[in-house]
Amino acid sequence: MIRRLQILIAVITINYSSQGQNNFDYTTFSNTGKRLETSEKTHVKKLFDSLSQKSKITFTYNDSVIFLLKSNTKSVEWMGDFNGWGFQKNFSNKGNQIPGTDICILKASFPKDARLDYKILIDGTNWILDPENKFQQWSGVSGGSPNSELRMPEWKEDPIQLERQNNH
């Protein structure tokens, strides 16, 4: 069984039923301060790879989102609309490295219909797009450069902005 980690994190396993529906099982861990056993590290890495292959990173469910990043850096922070791009200090935006792995994790809650821009700040100086998130949005806030786009489960694209099909 996977050991409990000190920081509160959520790890998701996804099982696809024969109808193609997702059944989500949140397993929450708390810290013992010990490193994961080899089999536990393998489980976490397989889970990450599975979510990545299914384009489920960033992972959203109801009002929750789990940001994940493979990184061996000193610090990882998620910056975006949700924390005033780092100016709102009441939002905990620092990722926690899952001990014994190269995976950083951050769990947050947002409105179910939110669409938010964000970037990842590596070691306090390097702003990057989320390499696991295919959605991007151009924004003037960051000087007219692309940002990663978080689409919560109930977000719907504004019909006015949808490109008309069969537009000749």
pLDDT tens digits in sequence order for the chain, 168 residues long: 233 332 233 344 333 223 343 433 334 333 344 455 666 777 778 888 888 888 888 888 889 898 999 988 999 999 999 999 999 999 999 998 887 788 898 989 999 999 999 999 999 999 999 999 999 988 765 567 899 999 999 999 877 766 654 454
Task: Measure the CA angle with vertex 81, ends 75 and 83; round to 5°.
Answer: 55
Q: Which fold has domain 5-151?
A: Immunoglobulin-like (2.60.40)
